[in-house]
Amino acid sequence: MKFQGSNESKSFVEQEEGFDLKVFFAKALTQWWIFLISLIVCFAGAFFYLKYKRPLYNINASILVEDDKKGGAIDPTALIGDLGGLLDTKSNVDNEAQILQTRFLMELVVRDLKLNLTYYSVETLKNIELNEAPFVVDQLSVKDTIMSTTVNVNIDDKGQAELSYNDNITDKLVESKVTFGKPFKIEGVGTIQIRKNPFVPMVPGSYAFVITSIDGAVTKFQSLLTVSVPSKDVSTIDLKLNYPLPKKGEGILNRLIQNYIQQNIDDKNRIADSTITFIDARLILVGKELGDVEGDIQVFKQKNNIADVSEQSKLLVSNTSDYMNRLAQIETQLSMANALEDYLKDDVKNKRVVPSSIITDDKIFADLVEKYNSLVVDRDRQALSVTSDNPIIVNMDQRIAALRNDMLVNLSNTKKSLLITKNSLQKSTGQLQGLIHNVPSQERVSLNLTRQQTIKQQLYLYLLQKREETAISKTSNISNSRIIDPPKSDVVPYSPKSALTFAFALILGLGLPIGRILAIDILNNKIMTKDDIVRGTQIPVIGEISHNESELNIVVSQNSRSGIAEQFRALRTNLNFLINPDTSNVILLTSSMSGEGKSFTSVNLAIVLALSGKKVVMIELDLRKPTLTAKMGMNNDKGFTNYIISNSLKAEDVVVPSYINENLFLISAGPIPPNPTETILNKRTKELVTELREKFDYIIMDAPPIGLVTDAQVLSEYADLTIYMVRQKYTFKNQLNIPEDLYQEGKIKKMGIVVNDIEINKGYGYGYGYGYGYGYGYGYGYGYGSYGNEDSKKGKGIFKLFKRDS
């Protein structure tokens, strides 16, 4: 809204001087009871919160993981066998930390400890979770998707149990008595039974158990678990579980660690089992071949009646035994290499672990197998909690394929090396082979069969040795992780914290009232306090009129001693500091808008001046909406308008006496003119004021609002003092721009503000005042119905005619 005479370039907010700490504390002191109530409520809330809030404890544990990559160690074989290993900076301890957070491990814990069942002792205001209840719930047949159900169990003095729960299908309360050990069905859950707990005495009382789905319980406990690697320089993993029951929390964390360690051992056993299975298959094949060779030897000897070979043949066999043993070893290694190559090329087995310790002479291949198997095991672990298209799984598949190709290339190179060695041995035995050709044909065949038998025996014995070594290593497999700090709960719960809770209650108890005060100041755009006026304008406040509880328009009389009457007397006194009381003075009353109490103040100010013996005349100059005459019960047939338009009329023709006081007179507005502003601008207005100055001590002009029309600004040139009315909780703060601009620009010479309709209990003043305070003078209170004048309270006689102008 734009007001006449306002300076649009300067807002009310820009005129404020900012936050006044003194004023703020003054406001706070007047509302001490709000602070007290707020503190009591907040501290009571903190007390009940601490009493009924479920405490949460930190259960901590640490494990040590063997990690060669910690400390920057580099495997020297990686420089030859796997150049990609130099670029793989992923630490083993980071992988293990990720594994500890997998859903699969937590699901094992939930199933082992039946964590989808929670037991409670039912108290008045809360349920207390129990480590163990007097009964145990067995899930005989549970649906895949369980609807979370709370079952109340009431155990009477006879040890009988009565159940009550809401049916998940019909949502109706179901009550029934059950027999311990006898199965029963719960809709949406499945078939369960309740049996007595042999380790907990059957104490009568109210209990409850909550049964949820396995998936829901896993998700819950995963959110309570925190796994972290404290430092990149060490290979330890810290585990923390938040839980209200320390012992139960320790059990959960301990079972999680034990399952993790067992899974680690099982992964190592998978490699050993794979090796044993592979060797067993080869033993069957080699054993069959050895049996066939031995059978051939027996058939050959029986057929040719050869009991034994000649001494020459024995000598040849003895001389070639060393070469034959070496060739047997080469043949064995070639056979193993071919078998491993076929195993790696098998599409069905290409993501399984590879048998280890088969080709012991090749350290590079052994390292490749170890890395490959470790990656396959990690991949299988990750696949338990993520899908196959997850970027982590895809990356691991690519690395597995790369390692498998590296092993195939290594095997190819190994086979070539073995073939070269074999050819070299065969070349070195050429002379011996020539001698063998000189042996009779029967003995030569027998010698060849014997040589084949020796090779098969060497291979068979080699496989048996490796199988035993693998079986022995399996029994000695240990996890690459060990517990260095077993699960242990903190002595004091980490939540809730008493000191922090009461500190928060104190801050909240003080902050809410402070926020209320600040919010009122920020959000309120009405004038509430004197400080709002002081910050909005430099015009002095010359009077403060409190709220009129009597609802009478006239509150001042000869014998009135009410607080509001004394405020008008104080206003009369303050006028003596602004005008010369020994001369005739014109006082103009205006405001920003209607309803701010101009007529109410005009009448009572005129009365209080008349009571002091001064002759006072009131001029009703709100020509658009005259109400003063009607409220005073006087005739408005002839008044100011008549005087302006008729040159024959004189001042005494329009001045009429008031029956309120012999010194009080009134000039009514008269008929409403079509052009009120031009009527006021008429030269006859000045003549009227000049003539009235000669006959009256005070001329009170009741003008229209200056914020709406210009009439009051036109009349101000005749006024010795302009009183600008402001009403608490009614006048807008930015409307103070209107009198401030008029005052600063000199359009109105002398101005003073009178604040009307003050409700002190609403916070006006906060210690400011003009001599009256909260317990004025006569012992009748301060303007809240405790008036000294009984007539003003009862509204007798003439005062019944006047109602306050709002």
Average pLDDT over every residue of 430-456: 61
Q: What is the pLDDT of residues 152-211, one digit of tens each?
A: 999 988 888 899 888 877 778 888 888 888 888 888 788 889 999 988 888 889 999 999
Please say whether the beta carbons of 703 and 623 come within 8 A. no
Average pLDDT over every residue of 659-688: 89
**pLDDT given for residue 725 in this prediction:** 93
- DSSP state letter for 360: T
**Comparing 116-125, 141-150, 437-446, 484-493, which segment has the lowest mean pLDDT?**
437-446
**212 has a pLDDT exceeding 80:** yes
45 Cβ contact list (under 8 Å, min separation 6): 505
- Cα distances (Å, whole numbers) of residue 202 to 182, 194, 362, 619, 624: 17, 13, 67, 95, 91
**pLDDT given for residue 804 in this prediction:** 37
Average pLDDT over every residue of 70-88: 38
| Predicted confidence band of residue 525 (pLDDT cuts 50, 70, 90) | confident
| Predicted confidence band of residue 788 (pLDDT cuts 50, 70, 90) | very low
CA 371, CA 86: separation in Å to the nearest integer? 13
| 480 residue type, one letter | N
**306 has a pLDDT exceeding 60:** no
**pLDDT given for residue 720 in this prediction:** 92
**Comparing 69-83, 519-533, 646-660, which segment has the lowest mean pLDDT?**
69-83
**pLDDT given for residue 802 in this prediction:** 32
**657 has a pLDDT exceeding 70:** yes
- Cα distances (Å, whole numbers) of residue 569 to 591, 773, 791: 21, 15, 18
pLDDT greater at residue 349 or residue 393: 393
Q: What is the pLDDT of residues 245-303, one digit of tens each?
A: 999 999 999 999 999 888 888 877 777 777 778 778 777 877 777 777 767 776 766 66
**Comparing 23-27, 159-163, 253-257, 363-367, which segment has the lowest mean pLDDT?**
23-27
**H or E element at residue 195:** strand 190-196
**588 has a pLDDT exceeding 90:** yes
**805 has a pLDDT exceeding 80:** no
Kind of pairing, strands 135-142 and 616-620?
Answer: unpaired
| Predicted confidence band of residue 469 (pLDDT cuts 50, 70, 90) | confident
Residue 639: Cβ within 10 Å count: 26
- Give me 81's structure tokens: 């066998």
**769 has a pLDDT exceeding 50:** no
Residue 756: Cβ within 10 Å count: 25
**pLDDT given for residue 562 in this prediction:** 83
**430 has a pLDDT exceeding 70:** no
**pLDDT given for residue 350 in this prediction:** 59
Domains and CATH numbers, the chain: 31-53+496-523 (no CATH), 78-258 (no CATH), 262-486 (no CATH), 530-801 (3.40.50.300)
**796 has a pLDDT exceeding 60:** no
pLDDT greater at residue 71 or residue 680: 680
**470 has a pLDDT exceeding 80:** no
Q: Which residues pair with 154 in a beta bridge?
A: 162, 206
**pLDDT given for residue 285 in this prediction:** 78
**777 has a pLDDT exceeding 50:** no
Tell me the pLDDT of the chain averaged across its residues.
78
**225 has a pLDDT exceeding 50:** yes
Contacts 24+ apart (CB under 8 A), 122-129: 122/152, 122/205, 122/206, 122/207, 122/208, 125/52, 126/52, 126/54, 127/208, 129/54, 129/244, 129/245
| Predicted confidence band of residue 387 (pLDDT cuts 50, 70, 90) | confident
| Predicted confidence band of residue 775 (pLDDT cuts 50, 70, 90) | very low
For the chain, give the percent of residues with pLDDT over 90: 21
**Comparing 159-173, 271-285, 419-433, 778-792, which segment has the lowest mean pLDDT?**
778-792
Please say whether the beta carbons of 100 and 260 come within 8 A. yes
| Predicted confidence band of residue 786 (pLDDT cuts 50, 70, 90) | very low
| 169 residue type, one letter | I
- Look at the chain and count its residues: 806
**pLDDT given for residue 117 in this prediction:** 92
**pLDDT given for residue 71 in this prediction:** 42
Q: What is the pLDDT of residues 681-723, one digit of tens each?
A: 999 999 999 999 999 999 999 988 987 788 888 888 899 999 9
Where does 490-621 show beta strands of DSSP type E? 541-546, 585-591, 616-620
**112 has a pLDDT exceeding 70:** yes
**pLDDT given for residue 797 in this prediction:** 32
Where does 405-547 show beta strands of DSSP type E? 481-489, 541-546
**pLDDT given for residue 619 in this prediction:** 92
Please say whether the beta carbons of 517 and 31 come within 8 A. yes
